[in-house]
């Protein structure tokens, strides 16, 4: 699993845009596939049912959002990342009917960006390297995750958004190094049978609590997905622990 949170901010935002474009295309196809006999609601009713998308609040963002061991998180970096995060949060808020707490969202993003800087700095301190083969493999995975068949298509899509191949490869190389750092910190994340079974039981309990009548697939059928889920959870926990350890020793200032 590629942790998009750790990808360079420009690339991370571009990936969000690619995903959004894919979703929009899918919606358009679904609309075109609707039967012609279906009654169309008047435009006024449609507008009433669809609340306006809120706008990200970018006022009062300082020129230097944070400093991490002397390295700055600039206003431009933060605003680019926040706009992408806000778009995701706004779509979720529309579906749930909840309002977005932009102050909380900004603080969470600032903390995430500090963690990102700390991990990248540590990977550099340990002189970790990323081979061309590892970068190519990661690019291929990213292309598939964004619904594209080849790396060339993926690079072309990012180029159209203003990201040159050299810049993309540089950020992906950084990602590979951070993944190495996390893997070393996490150690063996292979889930035991007991952990996978516990994950299955948790899903079963959640389904019962929700009153779902849908039959849960058999354990053996879900086992590969559950193994990946438990493995990812272990990696995420190791990442949080590592960031906390690095943060304790770091010189960090957040100016929000």
pLDDT at 132 > cutoff 90: yes
Asked whether the beta carbons of 40 and 49 are under 8 A apart, the reply is: no
Residue 49: predicted pLDDT: 53
In which band, very low, low, confident or very high, does the pLDDT at 111 lie, cut at 50, 70 and 90? very high
Checking if the pLDDT of 219 tops 70, the result is yes
Cα distance between residue 79 and residue 93, in whole Å: 20
pLDDT digits (tens, 9 = 90+) for 172-195: 999 899 989 999 999 999 999 999
- Predicted confidence band of residue 88 (pLDDT cuts 50, 70, 90): confident
User: How far apart (Å, rounded) are the C-alpha atoms in residues 226 and 224?
Assistant: 5
Spatial neighbors of 94 by CB under 8 A, at least 6 apart, are 51, 53
Which of the four pLDDT bands, split at 50, 70 and 90, describes residue 51? Answer: low
Rounded Cα–Cα distance for residues 79 and 57 (Å): 10
Q: What are the tokens at 16?
A: 């969000």
Which is higher by pLDDT, 205 or 11? Answer: 205
The predicted model gives 186-213 an average pLDDT of 89
pLDDT > 50? residue 10: no
Question: What six digits make up the tokens of 153?
Answer: 């298509």
Q: Taking residues 158-182, what's their average pLDDT?
A: 89
Q: 25-45, pLDDT tens digit by residue?
A: 444 444 444 444 444 444 444
**Is residue 237 pLDDT above 80, yes or no?**
yes
| Mean pLDDT confidence for 131-146 | 89
Q: What is the pLDDT of residue 11?
A: 47
- The pLDDT value given to residue 47: 47
């Amino acid at each position: 699993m590629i942790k998009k949170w750790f990808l360079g901010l420009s690339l991370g935002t571009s990936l969000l845009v690619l995903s959004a474009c894919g979703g929009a295309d899918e919606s358009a196809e679904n609309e075109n596939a609707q039967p012609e006999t279906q009654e169309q609601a008047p435009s006024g009713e449609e507008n009433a049912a669809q609340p306006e998308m809120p706008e990200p609040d970018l006022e009062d963002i300082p020129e230097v959002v944070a400093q991490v061991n002397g390295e700055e998180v600039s206003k431009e970096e933060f605003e680019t990342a926040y706009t992408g995060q806000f778009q995701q949060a706004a779509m979720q808020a529309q579906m749930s009917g909840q309002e977005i707490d932009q102050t909380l969202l900004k603080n969470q993003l600032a903390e995430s960006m500090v963690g990102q800087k700390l991990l990248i700095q540590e990977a550099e301190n340990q002189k970790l390297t990323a081979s061309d083969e590892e970068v190519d493999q990661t690019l291929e995975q990213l292309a598939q995750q964004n619904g594209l068949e080849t790396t060339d298509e993926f690079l072309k899509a990012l180029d159209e958004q203003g990201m040159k191949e050299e810049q993309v490869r540089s950020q992906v190389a950084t990602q590979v190094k951070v993944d190495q750092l996390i893997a070393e910190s996490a150690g063996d994340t292979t889930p035991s049978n007991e952990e996978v079974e516990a994950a299955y039981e948790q899903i079963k309990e959640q389904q019962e609590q929700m009153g779902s009548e849908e039959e849960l697939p058999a354990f053996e059928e879900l086992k590969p997905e559950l193994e990946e889920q438990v493995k990812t959870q272990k990696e995420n926990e190791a990442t949080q622990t590592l960031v906390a350890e690095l943060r304790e020793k770091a010189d960090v200032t957040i100016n929000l």
